[in-house]
Chains A and B, each alone.
Chain A
């Protein structure tokens, strides 16, 4: 096996967290110099595998070999010293430092304890030139766009003799153009012979970039295939272990007549958006599409009362509602499923039960916590929305990302809201969970709620929504009926001035 003596070889790697087996003996190899895609649903074990490679967690059993020699990484620092560079999904960036400061953070060049600023700046400049990044080593990281921060991580990984570059969902926060830039850099690295392990939920990216693709499912190895030899459909089947049912079709005409669940008129909050008027009918799913910075998250958060509105009215089923706080908005029947589930959606000091019932109990204004009744209600929600959890008493960090997201959705739907606002409801979740979350949204609409879904995932918007409103630079650019919308027509509105 020439492959195993030169490349990166995982042999029977196992890891359990308590009773949960995250990896059940994974064996596969990455050829030296190739770009290897690693794909699987949330909970498939990708993250654990990467954490082992990065030295953040230690495997219970199994070995990793690189170029034939045992790779035993005990700490993230050791990983760097062994030539493993990591680029994470969340951007780890020191906003208070300069570009050069970020690249050398923790590994500053020093002589006799003094920092060698000039040397670090020069090496940073060389690195930036090599990656064709038009930024200054002295720029504050806080001033960089999301894409450049992500590229800064790539540069950081490459600064120290990186032999294996591991990228974990690096495009989650990037727009398409920014993704293109990242990919151009990765292509150059590939040409230089860097071995890359690329983890993503996004099949098009995997197919665009990778030479071979390994699929994990439920902590086990499913298959490794040549990209040229497989289709996306085949990979999806391998990931979920079944065929996805065909998408439900909807009857937009039947719904268009019904009353407006949400009517926003002349809403403004500078500098994020101005003069926004839109309507969401009962039973309708409206997409709110726009690139990062178009103001769609801010719009949803203002409707939900997180920020005061400067102008305009918000009506729910014809009645003007008080949205001075999220509490007031929630009492008026508005629910917001926030974009960042870890930061905005979950309590990690509580179990699943508390997480699921807190919004409903809070807006009902109950005095007492009735634990046994709540456990029953939580169990019902877990069953209804098929949340995979060891139990309602389990902490949310025992759940996969997709199931955590289902908790954040379910905890709001438990309040039977009249208007459901969803901000990137399937960000960073796998295909199976994504499909289920879409089903949940459809069920809410069928129940009679008005659903407004903000997303930068165009295929998602097209598949889910009856009507698509496009925002650009804080204004509504126009709208397209779901049946007539194409990627081109929506993207054209999102990117062209005065297109409406």
Chain B
């Protein structure tokens, strides 16, 4: 049996802890002032915004493990958010039904990607690139360049189940991450996803319903992206078509930093979520460093490369 510290997720946790320690030290305030990084409010802020990425990263990681790739999450987030906001603000739907419709958008776009990959047999990169354009395009058509002001209709703020709104996104992320971690590691379905990613031909020859497995991963990715899009609209208070632009690449990078192999067959859901936290901390802390404003994208890029290279070196050493 593997020891806990031999799991790939362990090294991601170590990186996250080191990162937090580093910024705690770097941003240590002068005596008498409060710490700008290490405080509860900031922690919650990091969690809240990381969760937007994290929810979608759960689905993206599963797609990557299956040997595919999904470029659509950012656009699906926007379309789901826009549809939900439109129904809520313009059509005067209740909040619940509007948001459920938003999530169903993700189901539809996931199914579309799945059809293109499984039946039309397009490479996942191309299929999801097309779906990304379609979903983002529909979002622009619906909004006609406007935005839907959700926050003004949410009188008295949004307190689902009596919880503070800021907690909702992290809670959804953690619950989904745990559920899908269990699905991926202890269910036959999860093992089939790993099989298809590891060797699709052998999976087919082993009696695995490869088409069904692939369909399921793209649908899950679409639905989870839509969930995070809906949550993003609720967190930001407005639905607009350029929401979450470019998020798909950060989400893919998070999955890879969390141990997923773009070649398929390796990775974990928890790792991907931890990956989004690593980026969340970076995005939060870098702007607080005086003079680092223009460097944050550069540093994020370097961090991806360094983490993945170190991981590969460690992997080589272990085997």
Q: Is B191 an interface residue (CB 8 A)?
A: yes
Q: How far, in Å, is B77 (CB) from chain A's closest CB?
A: 30
* Chain B residues whose CB sits within 8 angstroms of the CB of A365 once the complex forms: 188
Q: How far, in Å, is B244 (CB) from chain A's closest CB?
A: 31
Q: How far, in Å, is A427 (CB) from chain B's closest CB?
A: 15
Expressed in whole angstroms, the Cα–Cα distance for A363 and B188 within the complex equals 11
Give A334-345 as 1s and 0s: 1 = Cβ < 8 Å from B's Cβ atoms: 001010000111
Asked whether, in the complex, the Cβ of B207 is within 8 Å of the Cβ of A349, the reply is no
Asked whether, in the complex, the Cβ of A348 is within 8 Å of the Cβ of B188, the reply is no
Q: Which one of A343, A362, A367 lies within 8 Å of B206 (CB-CB)?
A: A362
- Chain A 430-448 interface residues, beta-carbon cutoff 8 Å to B: none
Q: Which of these binds chain B: A32-40, A265-273, A322-330, A456-464?
A: A322-330
Asked whether, in the complex, the Cβ of A325 is within 8 Å of the Cβ of B209, the reply is yes
Give B175-197 as 1s and 0s: 1 = Cβ < 8 Å from A's Cβ atoms: 00000000001111011101101
Q: How far, in Å, is B203 (CB) from chain A's closest CB?
A: 8
Asked whether, in the complex, the Cβ of A368 is within 8 Å of the Cβ of B201, the reply is no
Asked whether, in the complex, the Cβ of A349 is within 8 Å of the Cβ of B265, the reply is yes
* Chain B residues whose CB sits within 8 angstroms of the CB of A369 once the complex forms: 185-188, 190-191
Asked whether, in the complex, the Cβ of A326 is within 8 Å of the Cβ of B191, the reply is no
Asked whether, in the complex, the Cβ of B195 is within 8 Å of the Cβ of A350, the reply is yes
Q: Which one of A349, A367, A393, A395 lies within 8 Å of B194 (CB-CB)?
A: A349
Asked whether, in the complex, the Cβ of A367 is within 8 Å of the Cβ of B266, the reply is no
Asked whether, in the complex, the Cβ of A326 is within 8 Å of the Cβ of B204, the reply is yes
Q: How far, in Å, is A218 (CB) from chain B's closest CB?
A: 22
Q: Is B208 an interface residue (CB 8 A)?
A: yes
Expressed in whole angstroms, the Cα–Cα distance for A348 and B67 within the complex equals 14
Q: Is A358 an interface residue (CB 8 A)?
A: yes
Give B191-235 as 1s and 0s: 1 = Cβ < 8 Å from A's Cβ atoms: 110110111011111111100000000000000000000000000
Asked whether, in the complex, the Cβ of A368 is within 8 Å of the Cβ of B198, the reply is no
Q: A350-B194, A358-B208 are contacts. A368–B202 as well, Cβ < 8 Å?
A: no
Q: How far, in Å, is B85 (CB) from chain A's closest CB?
A: 38
Asked whether, in the complex, the Cβ of B209 is within 8 Å of the Cβ of A327, the reply is yes
Asked whether, in the complex, the Cβ of A361 is within 8 Å of the Cβ of B209, the reply is no
Chain B interface residue count, Cβ-Cβ cutoff 8 angstroms: 26
* Chain B residues whose CB sits within 8 angstroms of the CB of A363 once the complex forms: 207
- The residue of chain A having its C-beta at the shortest distance from the C-beta of B207 within the complex is A330
Give B255-290 as 1s and 0s: 1 = Cβ < 8 Å from A's Cβ atoms: 000000000111000000000000000000000000
- The residue of chain B having its C-beta at the shortest distance from the C-beta of A366 within the complex is B188
* Chain A residues whose CB sits within 8 angstroms of the CB of B203 once the complex forms: 347
Give B1-24 as 1s and 0s: 1 = Cβ < 8 Å from A's Cβ atoms: 100000000000000000000000
Q: How far, in Å, is B67 (CB) from chain A's closest CB?
A: 10
Q: How far, in Å, is A320 (CB) from chain B's closest CB?
A: 20
- The residue of chain B having its C-beta at the shortest distance from the C-beta of A329 within the complex is B207
Give A343-378 as 1s and 0s: 1 = Cβ < 8 Å from B's Cβ atoms: 111111110001000110111011111000000000
Q: Is A18 an interface residue (CB 8 A)?
A: yes
* Chain B residues whose CB sits within 8 angstroms of the CB of A393 once the complex forms: 1
* Chain B residues whose CB sits within 8 angstroms of the CB of A367 once the complex forms: 187-188
Asked whether, in the complex, the Cβ of B197 is within 8 Å of the Cβ of A411, the reply is no
Asked whether, in the complex, the Cβ of B188 is within 8 Å of the Cβ of A345, the reply is no
Q: Is B293 an interface residue (CB 8 A)?
A: no
* Chain A residues whose CB sits within 8 angstroms of the CB of B209 once the complex forms: 325, 327
* Chain A residues whose CB sits within 8 angstroms of the CB of B185 once the complex forms: 369
Q: Which one of A343, A345, A348, A362 lies within 8 Å of B207 (CB-CB)?
A: A362
- The residue of chain B having its C-beta at the shortest distance from the C-beta of A345 within the complex is B202
- The residue of chain B having its C-beta at the shortest distance from the C-beta of A365 within the complex is B188
* Chain B residues whose CB sits within 8 angstroms of the CB of A343 once the complex forms: 199, 201-202
Q: Is A91 an interface residue (CB 8 A)?
A: no
Q: Is B34 an interface residue (CB 8 A)?
A: no
- The residue of chain A having its C-beta at the shortest distance from the C-beta of B199 within the complex is A347
Q: Is A480 an interface residue (CB 8 A)?
A: no
Q: Is B319 an interface residue (CB 8 A)?
A: yes
Q: A349-B265, A369-B188 are contacts. A327–B208 as well, Cβ < 8 Å?
A: yes
Asked whether, in the complex, the Cβ of A358 is within 8 Å of the Cβ of B195, the reply is yes
Asked whether, in the complex, the Cβ of B198 is within 8 Å of the Cβ of A358, the reply is no
Asked whether, in the complex, the Cβ of B188 is within 8 Å of the Cβ of A362, the reply is yes
Q: A326-B205, A336-B205, A362-B206 are contacts. A349–B266 as well, Cβ < 8 Å?
A: yes
Asked whether, in the complex, the Cβ of A347 is within 8 Å of the Cβ of B208, the reply is no
Q: How far, in Å, is A410 (CB) from chain B's closest CB?
A: 13
* Chain A residues whose CB sits within 8 angstroms of the CB of B199 once the complex forms: 343, 346-349
Q: Is A306 an interface residue (CB 8 A)?
A: yes
Give B145-175 as 1s and 0s: 1 = Cβ < 8 Å from A's Cβ atoms: 0000000000000000000000000000000
* Chain B residues whose CB sits within 8 angstroms of the CB of A336 once the complex forms: 205
Q: A327-B208, A327-B209 are contacts. A362–B202 as well, Cβ < 8 Å?
A: no
- The residue of chain A having its C-beta at the shortest distance from the C-beta of B185 within the complex is A369
Asked whether, in the complex, the Cβ of A347 is within 8 Å of the Cβ of B265, the reply is yes
Give A312-334 as 1s and 0s: 1 = Cβ < 8 Å from B's Cβ atoms: 00000000000001110111000
Q: How far, in Å, is A352 (CB) from chain B's closest CB?
A: 14
Asked whether, in the complex, the Cβ of A368 is within 8 Å of the Cβ of B265, the reply is no
* Chain A residues whose CB sits within 8 angstroms of the CB of B205 once the complex forms: 306, 326, 336, 338, 344-345
- The residue of chain A having its C-beta at the shortest distance from the C-beta of B188 within the complex is A366
* Chain B residues whose CB sits within 8 angstroms of the CB of A354 once the complex forms: 191
Asked whether, in the complex, the Cβ of B197 is within 8 Å of the Cβ of A349, the reply is yes
Expressed in whole angstroms, the Cα–Cα distance for A369 and B209 within the complex equals 17
- The residue of chain B having its C-beta at the shortest distance from the C-beta of A361 within the complex is B188
Q: How far, in Å, is A195 (CB) from chain B's closest CB?
A: 35
- Chain B 105-125 interface residues, beta-carbon cutoff 8 Å to A: none
Expressed in whole angstroms, the Cα–Cα distance for A331 and B207 within the complex equals 8
Asked whether, in the complex, the Cβ of A359 is within 8 Å of the Cβ of B187, the reply is no
* Chain A residues whose CB sits within 8 angstroms of the CB of B188 once the complex forms: 361-362, 365-369
Asked whether, in the complex, the Cβ of B202 is within 8 Å of the Cβ of A346, the reply is yes
Q: Which one of B1, B207, B265, B266 lies within 8 Å of A359 (CB-CB)?
A: B207
* Chain A residues whose CB sits within 8 angstroms of the CB of B201 once the complex forms: 343-344
* Chain B residues whose CB sits within 8 angstroms of the CB of A348 once the complex forms: 198-199, 265
- The residue of chain B having its C-beta at the shortest distance from the C-beta of A346 within the complex is B202
Q: How far, in Å, is B50 (CB) from chain A's closest CB?
A: 28
- Chain A 401-446 interface residues, beta-carbon cutoff 8 Å to B: 411
Q: How far, in Å, is B217 (CB) from chain A's closest CB?
A: 16
Asked whether, in the complex, the Cβ of B186 is within 8 Å of the Cβ of A368, the reply is yes
* Chain A residues whose CB sits within 8 angstroms of the CB of B191 once the complex forms: 354, 358, 361, 369
Expressed in whole angstroms, the Cα–Cα distance for A344 and B194 within the complex equals 15
Question: Which 5 residue pairs are nearest across A and B when measured between Cβ atoms?
Answer: A349-B265, A349-B198, A330-B207, A347-B198, A327-B207
- 20 contacts across the A-B interface (CB closer than 8 A): A306-B205, A325-B209, A326-B206, A327-B208, A336-B205, A345-B205, A347-B194, A347-B195, A347-B199, A347-B203, A347-B265, A348-B265, A350-B194, A359-B206, A363-B207, A368-B186, A368-B188, A369-B187, A369-B188, A411-B206
B-side residues, CB < 8 A to A, are: 1, 185-188, 190-192, 194-195, 197-199, 201-209, 264-266, 319
16 more CB-based (< 8 A) A-B contacts, given A18-B319, A347-B265? A306-B205, A343-B199, A344-B201, A345-B202, A346-B202, A348-B198, A349-B199, A349-B264, A350-B194, A358-B208, A359-B206, A365-B188, A366-B188, A367-B187, A367-B188, A369-B186
